[in-house]
Structure 1
Amino acid sequence: MTEEDDSDEHEVRNASRARDLETVVAEIRDRVDPDDDERDRLREVADRLMDRAETAATELCDGADVLQVGSTARNTWISGDRDIDVFVRFPPELDRETLEEHGLEVGHATLPEGHEEYAEHPYVKGEVEGFDVDVVPCFRLESATEIRSAVDRTPFHTRYLQTRLDEDLAAAVRVTKQFLKGIGVYGSDLRTQGFSGYLTELLVCEYGGFRPLLEAAADWHPPVELDPEDHGQARETASPSRDEEVNDVDLPFDDPLVVIDPTDPERNVAAVCSSENVARFQHYAREFLESPHTDFFDPSEPEPLTEADLSAHLERRGTTPVAVRFDAPDLVEDQLYPQLRKSLAGITQGLDDRGFDVFRATTIADETAVVFAELAVAERPAVERHEGPPIHVRGHADGFYVAYADDPDAYGPFIEDDRYVTEREREFTTAREFLESDRLFDVGLGAHVETALEDGYEVLIDDEVAALLDEFGAELAAYFEPRP
């Protein structure tokens, strides 16, 4: 086959993939685009709620106004989504306490059957004719750089995107959101650490559509920095967060994906995205472009592991599973998961420091919470090696020698190469001994996790971890049968 034949065949394959991609995207659009009836129904309910909120707000406070925000305001909501976000803006001269009081009063007037929830400040949440409605107070400001709480940014985001999203781009956003949901990376909550709706909209605008975004992401080399409004030097007002030792302190953000907020140059919209989820998006962008299929848009939960499945995995892997299980702290997920991850890091470091060599680990939560790890080493000798400083470092070397010379339980000190070495009794010879000891509380733990552990916990080793299957069978399946 000639080089020209190879080129022709390559072009044919590319054209075929392009047709397949267009067919898949058209099918997904049919699924995710709201129809006229759905749009009309949402508009009717939203207008009624807005009128109710505006009446209550203006009676309470001169200068208050109301606007709809979020995906339903920007025409990027997916068919079946039932969220209506009503923001009540109050003049900036109002104090925070009064804003909260007025906000709740307007919320209850708008949603008589609603209940109060709390983010940075309280708001009212309820359901109206099948729609989930939030009524949220904020300050009416001239610039997003003047914000007093995170919600103050949201009206600026809505205004910015409403002027940039035409129907084609809005449709591309809906397809992109469904793709991100399908591969498990949609959501800016601290459990998911993925792509928010606002970030998704900015990326689609930046690249001009769903396919161009995937083609760009497939070739990203993190850290990737995007600056939709070309703030340029304004970014340098952000506090540098990079590491001086690797000579990159000139960049203000140390995240794998940096998208400078068009309305606030000191904020990275993608800051919550974990490096794993940025990489996961890249992986599936390449997979989809190579072989377009609707399966990429369908979230899939693994079948829960059976006890036989778990035993087979453990036998095949030859590792030692350990789990610390305790009652999950009564926290919202955005508070719980950072504490669980901190505790996971602390406990695994504690295991590593004692020679048990954590192979892989995770943390999961529902009614109970679990720090789960596989160990490459289950049991250590009764003694451990402890190296002192080189003998020519006289002061430190003398101190080391004196500390162990008269210890009847230590072997040595003796000299190996140029330093003193002693072999002393090991504090813990098994992971269970460490995990069941008070030394567990010496590692870095989340504050509420530490309190929960103080109230009581259990340690599960080897086959005992099967006790987790009833509550966490699907999560353990995801752990033992991982996919990108």
Structure 2
Amino acid sequence: MTEDDAGDDADTGTDAGAEDDLSRVVAGVRDRVTPDVEEATRLAEAADDLVARVEAALADLPVDVEDVDTVQVGSTARGTWLAGDRDIDLFVRFPGELPRDDLESYGLQVGRAVLPDGREEFAEHPYVTGAYDGFDVDLVPCYDVPDATGIRSAVDRTPFHNAYLAARLDEDLAGDVRVFKRFLKAIGAYGSDLRTEGFSGYLAELLVFEHGGFVPLLEAAADWHPPVRFDPEDHGRAAFDHPLVVIDPTDPERNVAAVCSAENVARLQHYARDLLADPREGLFFRDESGPEHLDADAVREHVRRRETTPVAVVFDTPDVVEDQLYPQLRKSLDGIQSELTRRGFGSIRAETFAAETTDELGRQAFGRAVLLVELEVAKLPAVERHEGPPVHVDEHARGFYEAYADDPDVYGPFLDGDRYVVEREREFTSAVGFVESDSLFDVALGVHVAESLNEGYEVLAGEEVAELAEHDGVDGEAFGVELARYLDPEP
């Protein structure tokens, strides 16, 4: 045996050992996240009972019950739900010719009859959510359309997703889907809501099916070079400008991964490499609640050590649903951060968060919201340099010169090389001065955020941001965890 052969064998042995370790880890995780027979039986019985209640409620409506059916959808229908998850999603399909107002009205009537203690929620149209026999139930009306390209509302395509995957996911792949979902949850990348901007359950299932299992998907993701594109049914038509593109097999004009942010694609890659290098179950069961909250003293110490100037704009959260709130918060944060950077304060990092609570009906609600920008510079000089055009650009150069020639408050105009330059009074010498002024409303803000800010807001700067760890006006130290996460960041 040559030395090269020996080296190859040694590498193979190491790789084989790592593969064995990963296989054991995946098997252990699968055992922990697979519902047992008792749980599966209880869920099936609850779903059957709910369908029977829906059918009884339909009999009281002015529709032909033979034209309406009930479909269980989602992970509990496809056998890919995680042990302990308590969700049952039922879609009541009405004829496509039914007027939209009737669809919404009938859907709510059925929902209230089946879940009398439930509450009304709103996606593209209203539906009823509630509890039944220990399970969380969503009862959603939709249209019965021939295929997903003919949908009349966004939820109409969901039964087609269900049918597509139910025909393709065997028990082994379903187990790998559970492992992948648990992995995404642990790394904070699971959920297609506009707060998370991560991987939906449907997307997770498609990716596992596309790669033939969790481990092959993990190995592929570790080497992705976005943009990455998958087209399970070879539709090959639509083009999308997203880091991850998975063409919906039931709707060729839709990217299932459209909401998935570049950051979450990168997050999956990072932790895929981490798990492949060091297989361990602990990575699947990290504490999803995040780090322990920081108290005010700890926040102050971080601010002193970093020698930066954090500036927080604190205000009452707009009364909108989460999927409207977080895009508006991010837009507003980007607008403020960009303007502070343009004005010379040098942004290091920025973050937004909102204190969550529940209202009297048990619905998600929010207290205060924060737009936090950490700056390199606390205070700038009273003057700023302002360059004009080169002197040889006749008309524009003369216009610049004449605009400032008789202004006693500027230094210049003078020449620096071939350009006119003035040093003029800076509008804002501190970031706090800017965010406390009406100029804040000239940046690109989310419409509802702007309305809330117009009602009043507080500005905290420097060590004052530690006050965010002390109270939020709703539920104690709600921002201590967010600040801990900000000041001890990880992928």
TM-score, normalization: structure 1?
0.95
Give the direction of change, closer, same or farther, for the CA distance of 1:65–1:276 in structure 2 (3 Å limit).
same
User: 1:298-323: CA deviations, max 9, x gaps?
Assistant: 13211112333323322332211111
User: 1:336-374: CA deviations, max 9, x gaps?
Assistant: 000000000011012112111111111011121001111
**What's the counterpart of residue 480 of structure 2?**
473
Counterpart code for 1:188:
S
Quick check: 1:274 aligned with 2:278?
Answer: no
**What's the counterpart of residue 249 of structure 1?**
none
Is the Cα contact below 8 Å between 2:176 and 2:214 reproduced in 1? yes
**What's the counterpart of residue 50 of structure 1?**
51
Distance 1:271 1:400 in 2: 47
CA shift at 1:58, angstroms? 5.2
Quick check: 1:200 aligned with 2:207?
Answer: no
- How many percent identity over aligned positions? 63
User: 1:46-83: CA deviations, max 9, x gaps?
Assistant: 00101111232355222111110111001000110000
CA shift at 1:2, angstroms? 2.7
User: 1:91-117: CA deviations, max 9, x gaps?
Assistant: 111111011011111111211221111
TM-score, normalization: structure 2?
0.93
CA shift at 1:262, angstroms? 0.3
Distance 1:307 1:112 in 2: 45
Q: 1:151 aligns with which of 131, 152, 155?
A: 155
Aligned pairs for 1:312-391 (under 5 A) are: 312-366=301-355, 367-391=367-391
CA shift at 1:4, angstroms? 2.4
**What's the counterpart of residue 183 of structure 2?**
179
Is the Cα contact below 8 Å between 2:309 and 2:461 reproduced in 1? yes
Which stretches in structure 1 are left out of the alignment for 5+ residues?
236-251
Is the Cα contact below 8 Å between 1:57 and 1:65 reproduced in 2? no
What count of residue pairs does the alignment treat as equivalent? 467
Is the Cα contact below 8 Å between 1:100 and 1:122 reproduced in 2? yes
Distance 1:307 1:468 in 2: 8
Q: 4+ residue runs of structure 1 moved beyond 6 angstroms?
A: none
Quick check: 1:395 aligned with 2:402?
Answer: no
Distance 1:67 1:107 in 2: 14
Aligned pairs for 1:217-236 (under 5 A) are: 217-232=221-236, 234-235=237-238
Instruction: Provide the secondary structure at the position in 1 that maps to 2:392.
Output: coil
**What's the counterpart of residue 433 of structure 2?**
433
CA shift at 1:143, angstroms? 1.3
**What's the counterpart of residue 408 of structure 1?**
408
Distance 1:70 1:418 in 2: 67
Which stretches in structure 2 are left out of the alignment for 5+ residues?
356-366, 470-476
Give the direction of change, closer, same or farther, for the CA distance of 1:436–1:379 in structure 2 (3 Å limit).
same
**What's the counterpart of residue 360 of structure 2?**
none
Instruction: Provide the secondary structure at the position in 2 that maps to 1:190.
Output: coil
Distance 1:382 1:465 in 2: 26
Instruction: Provide the secondary structure at the position in 1 that maps to 2:81.
Output: coil
**What's the counterpart of residue 298 of structure 2?**
309
Distance 1:49 1:355 in 2: 60
Distance 2:225 2:423 in 1: 47
Is the Cα contact below 8 Å between 2:22 and 2:280 reproduced in 1? yes
Counterpart code for 2:340:
L
Is the Cα contact below 8 Å between 1:58 and 1:65 reproduced in 2? no
Name the Cα RMSD after superposition.
1.1
Counterpart code for 2:438:
D
- Bigger mean CA offset, 55-64 vs 422-431: 55-64
Is the Cα contact below 8 Å between 2:296 and 2:467 reproduced in 1? no
User: 1:139-198: CA deviations, max 9, x gaps?
Assistant: 000111111221111001001001001000000000100000011100001111100000
Distance 1:168 1:365 in 2: 40
Distance 1:151 1:54 in 2: 20
Quick check: 1:483 aligned with 2:490?
Answer: yes
